[in-house]
Amino acid sequence: MKKILLLGANSQLGTDIQYIFSFYPQYELIIVYRKDLDIEKDDIYQFLKQIDFDVLINCTSYHKTDECEDFPLRSLIVNGIAVRKMAMLCNLHNKLLIHFSTDYVFDGKKNQPYVENDSTNPLNMYGVSKLTGEHFIKSLHDKFFIFRVSSLFGLAGPIEKGNNFIETVIQLGKQGKKLNLINDQVMSPTYTLEIAIAVIKFIDQNIDEYGIYHCSGEGECSWYEFAEEIFELLYMNVVLIPVPYTSNQTKAQRPLYSALDNTKLKNFYQMKHWRDSLSDYLIRRGHFNE
């Protein structure tokens, strides 16, 4: 029986990976939380050495984007140095490493979806630290998949950030608030369940075309358009005011355009359009029963 070790098991993505694996009893999923291994403080190498596994899936991340600007060392340790240790161990024991990176490795100056070998140029510390993690994996190990994902939404909700964008706008909409929404920052919203399905396909089909894959919801939209679709699907009448990115002062700069091109991934898995995933999410979350 193949053994899959899942770090960051309670993350938004890790929760859906656990859910998908429940349909694949042929795999043994070994679940690890921060209380078992703190990748910032504990000896990762020592911890991993004691566990017998075939595939390491790393869902841990420090991705409070604005906070990373204040704590650059922490972001480099969690998103870079810790990942380096994982890559070294996986290389030594010839294990498959599955890791997740971000659309924030790009600067957003392109106006069509980014492909895997487009030049990277992160605008913020979070992006720098995630790119560092990518570099370590690429330089230390051959047997890896790095899935670059973007703007996640999942049933678990981001553990560290509180509610996700969808829940936040629905709550505000129900309170009758007018919502200011950025209409000139474009991305590909991505459902964590879809990423989890892609991951299991890669493992189950023994795919050995290792490397980086863009893995985001098909299509692209601004945050304004995303909210518009949420309220349209829920038949909610909410006043939305389009505002420019520059109206929202944040510590970390974000790319204005970061849609990802999934063509390479399509050889193995076709991601759903973000609109279809959004409907699925709203159904699973019970929003149509309220």
Ligand X SMILES: NC(=O)c1ccc[n+]([C@@H]2O[C@H](COP(=O)([O-])OP(=O)(O)OC[C@H]3O[C@@H](n4cnc5c(N)ncnc54)[C@H](OP(=O)(O)O)[C@@H]3O)[C@@H](O)[C@H]2O)c1
61 touches ligand X (CB under 6 A):
yes
273 touches ligand X (CB under 6 A):
no
Q: How far is CA 231 from CA 154, 167, 177, 179, 224, in A?
A: 18, 11, 13, 12, 11
Q: Name the residue with tokens 């380096």.
A: 84
Contact flags string 221-260 toward ligand X, x per CB under 6 A: ----------------------------------------
Task: Pick left, alpha or beta for residue 289 (phi over 0 → left; psi -120 to 50 → alpha; otherwise beta).
Answer: alpha
Q: How far is CA 8 from the centre of its chain?
A: 12
- Report the residue from 28, 38, 54, 116 that binds ligand X according to the rule CB under 6 A: 38
Contact 91, 141 (CB under 8 A): yes
Contact 109, 258 (CB under 8 A): no
* Residues across the chain: 290
Q: Which is nearer to ligand X, 103 or 228 (CB)?
A: 103
Nearest-approach distance from CB 14 to ligand X, in angstroms = 6
Q: What are the respective helix, strand and coil percentages of the chain, to the nearest 5?
A: 40, 20, 40
Residue 28 β-bridge partners: 3
Q: Which is nearer to ligand X, 61 or 132 (CB)?
A: 61
Q: Interface residues for ligand X in 175-214 (CB under 6 A)?
A: none
Calculate ∠ Cα 24-25-26, nearest 5°.
90
Which one of the spans 11-19, 111-119, 218-226, 241-249 is the region binding ligand X (CB under 6 A)? 11-19
Nearest-approach distance from CB 12 to ligand X, in angstroms = 3
Q: Interface residues for ligand X in 159-178 (CB under 6 A)?
A: 159-160
Residue 191 β-bridge partners: 153
Q: Interface residues for ligand X in 131-160 (CB under 6 A)?
A: 149-152, 158-160
63 touches ligand X (CB under 6 A):
yes
Question: Residues in contact with ligand X, total (CB under 6 A)?
Answer: 27
- Report the residue from 68, 76, 78, 260 that binds ligand X according to the rule CB under 6 A: 78
Binding site for ligand X (CB under 6 A): 8, 10-14, 33-34, 38-40, 59-63, 78, 100, 102, 130, 149-152, 158-160
